[in-house]
Structure 1
Amino acid sequence: MSLAVQGLCCVDQGPDWVPAQVRTYLAHVTHGRSIRSLAREAGCHASTVLRQVRRFETRRDDLLVDLALRRLEGVAARPDRRAVTPGGTQVVMLNRKPEDFAVPDDDQLKEAAPRILRRLNEPGACLAIAADMEKAVIVREEKDGQTLRTAVVDRALAEAMVLKDWIAPQGEGRIQRYRITQAGRMALKRLLAEEEALRANMGEGMDPYSEQHRDWARRNADDRPNKKRGIRYNAAESPMTALARRKDRGGAPFLTADLVAAGERLREDFELAQMGPRITQNWERFLEGGARGSFNPGGAGGGSSRARERVTAALSDLGPGLGDVVLRCCCFLEGMEAVEQRMGWSARSGKIVLRIALHRLKGHYDETSGNWSPMIG
């Protein structure tokens, strides 16, 4: 049983989306549970619980956080809008409307979150709300300075999102503005992956928590707009993506789009070559000077034989050294520091060798098959 459930098992906890640290805070502040008792039940040190309580006590300066905690305190205390003091006196909770106690359930939040987060993920978008506003609005600032309203959000949903750290405040003023956080973008990816899996009737085998870390991209060798035969890859996974974002002294990208596409093209063939019930390929032995004419010494290992031949031809053209760096960075997805240590190179020299290897690899593809990758199968 989690710390939150242990701390608040005697009262109504509300929906499951309420974070565990919020439940701990409410258990201490609203229901009078001591820090030591909560820590004892959770099996942690009292200072851990104290930090959680202080964190949300400090965050109550945030408008939406304070409204959200007041809403949850009202649900956890009494639905008749009365509070009982330690002396037994009933005090009416003033300035509270019945709708202030309505907390969105898990299904409501899951249904509305993709629409809201998608709007907040647009460039220049933010959520605006004031203390006297019953609903929040999402606005987007255009390049010409105009502000366009793109969505209206129930205040309860906005409060839930700020408690889950999907949005964070920016600046101060009577009208508070919130922007999407990295956690909010990851939640958006996860929710969209779940929707896509359900549409494809793959709900049982989906893995939305892995999908939230992926960033799918598609690119051709010369970055043409025609994507008929482009390469689809996970840009957040490849070490080349970080190098492609860097600039040289002249302000140009360290790795151009055609070089990144060449590396992803090799990786695509590498993955196709590994598919099958039995894998006996030893690419490292090939680079170390093993039998260069045979890359499947154990017999048929599955996978695409044509993809295996394309990888073999590319690595043979690059040779040891250059072939090592593209194999480890593009196919094995090893970082540059790991490659430099494995190869015995000096620090920060691997990226130079990788760029040289990618130039050589691009020339190989230009000579053999041109811009378009061969069709799978």
Structure 2
Amino acid sequence: MGTQCPNQSVPAWLPQAARLYLAHTEAGVSLRELARIEGCHPSTVMRQVRRVETRRDDPLIDDALTRLGGRAGASAPKKESPQMSPTTRPLPPAADEPAIDREALRLLRRLNEPGAFMAVARDMEKAAILRESADGQTTRTAVVDRSVAEAFALKDWIACRTRGRVTIYDISSAGRAAFKRLQAEEAERRDGFAEAQSPFAAQHRDWEVQKNARAERIRFNRAESPLAILARRKEKDGHPFLSHDLVAAGERLREDFEVAQLGPRVAQNWDRFLTGGDRGSFFGADGASGGSAAARDRVAAALRELGPGLGDVALRCCCFLEGLEQAEQRMGWSARSGKIVLRIALQRLKRHYETLGDRSGLIG
């Protein structure tokens, strides 16, 4: 039975330990009373409350508990935090469960990539997921609402690595397990099941199978995209096969593509952008829109700019995460030609984004 703070409707996603902490510190419910409600020993409740209290030096957790505690209308004193000041900025509303569910799979997938981490600035309402390559170059791969990042921290999906004006977080073992579980649930829903049949068994597996626009099954490494693999390969002169700016252009397309899937029109017909398809107007006559309409427009414009062939390989490798060998076979290309075509596509894609400039729509 979950504990609810008096006069407070706490979010359904809030972990049990945080619920107990707020009930005790904000609503004034004694540890013995909480233990009676939960049907456990008071020492069990005390350990959970103390564990949450010791984590308040994490700025995300401190902000989240401050906001959730304020909703109770209580004025109990809180542990002083070095991140707080007399002129603390107004806090945005707490994330709701649909927002977390909508973003969790996309963001955890990004955090699970090699070299990925989340950076949270003290006075910013957005956090960024960055990925550092072997040569020290850093690429931004996603933008996160601060309230969603706070929920990730409370759920133990991310762990604080370093603190300061910019705090760095890494995905935790619990976050990796949640990522695999969410993947399994998504796959089961996509295959026609109402819910995942064995999500907790699937969280220990390493591979993902998905279908592209033509219902072709693609199996790929959950932690790496084809671009990340190619970026590690070296030319004869020792330079990487894909430069940092080309990888960034491909990741920019992938970010828009992932955001485009979050709107009301989830089942996008990207098949029209493959060779032989209609590359005209992306939307129908109704001009349907939604929260992801701008992202869909940006993906459509980029693929039209690339044209047949280049657009195909960019869509397959950057967005569907299809391997180069598989893409070559499906498109009837000779072996080892795909990486050359992909590099040309990324060069044109980079030029396309440079031409857009500030009109690209992404947050810097």
SS of 2:54 mapped into structure 1: helix
For structure 1, list consecutive stretches of 5 or more residues without a partner in the other structure: 86-93, 219-231, 233-377
CA distance, structure 2, for counterparts of residue 60 and residue 215 of structure 1: 33
CA distance, structure 2, for counterparts of residue 104 and residue 134 of structure 1: 12
Q: Which of 7, 10, 23 in structure 2 is aligned with 1:11?
A: 7
Matches within 5 A, 1:137-216: 137-204=128-195, 206-216=197-207
Residues 192 and 34 (structure 1), Cα distance of their counterparts in 2 relative to 1, 3 Å cut: same
Letter of the 2:107 counterpart = I
Deviation at 1:162, TM superposition (A): 0.5
Q: Which of 51, 55, 66 in structure 1 is aligned with 2:62?
A: 66
Q: Give yes or no for the alignment of 1:111 onto 2:102.
A: yes
CA distance, structure 1, for counterparts of residue 122 and residue 106 of structure 2: 24
**TM-superposition CA deviations, 1:61-120 (whole Å, max 9, x none):** 111110111121122328xxxx599xxxxxxxx85666x251221111011011111110
Query: Conserved in 2, the CA contact under 8 Å of 1:75 and 1:101?
Result: no
CA distance, structure 2, for counterparts of residue 217 and residue 39 of structure 1: 42
**TM-superposition CA deviations, 1:212-232 (whole Å, max 9, x none):** 1233499xxxxxxxxxxxxx9
Query: Conserved in 2, the CA contact under 8 Å of 1:194 and 1:203?
Result: no
CA distance, structure 2, for counterparts of residue 40 and residue 196 of structure 1: 40
For structure 2, list consecutive stretches of 5 or more residues without a partner in the other structure: 78-85, 210-219, 221-364
SS of 1:77 mapped into structure 2: coil
Deviation at 1:174, TM superposition (A): 2.1
CA distance, structure 2, for counterparts of residue 217 and residue 70 of structure 1: 38
Letter of the 2:43 counterpart = S
TM-score (norm 1): 0.50
Partner of 2:347: none
TM-score (norm 2): 0.52
**TM-superposition CA deviations, 1:106-136 (whole Å, max 9, x none):** 1110110111111100111100012212111
Q: Which of 35, 39, 46 in structure 1 is aligned with 2:35?
A: 39
**TM-superposition CA deviations, 1:166-202 (whole Å, max 9, x none):** 0001123321100001110111111111111111111
CA distance, structure 2, for counterparts of residue 96 and residue 172 of structure 1: 18
- Runs of 4+ displaced beyond 3 Å: 94-98, 215-218
Partner of 1:51: 47
Deviation at 1:19, TM superposition (A): 0.2
Q: Which of 6, 25, 30 in structure 2 is aligned with 1:29?
A: 25
CA distance, structure 2, for counterparts of residue 205 and residue 178 of structure 1: 29
Deviation at 1:14, TM superposition (A): 2.5
Residues 120 and 26 (structure 1), Cα distance of their counterparts in 2 relative to 1, 3 Å cut: same
C-alpha RMSD of the superposition: 2.7
Deviation at 1:140, TM superposition (A): 0.8
Letter of the 1:28 counterpart = H
Question: How high is the sequence identity, in percent, across the aligned residues?
Answer: 52
Letter of the 1:191 counterpart = L
Partner of 1:134: 125
Letter of the 1:152 counterpart = V
Partner of 1:274: none
SS of 2:205 mapped into structure 1: coil
Letter of the 2:153 counterpart = V
Residues 95 and 201 (structure 1), Cα distance of their counterparts in 2 relative to 1, 3 Å cut: farther
CA distance, structure 1, for counterparts of residue 206 and residue 136 of structure 2: 30
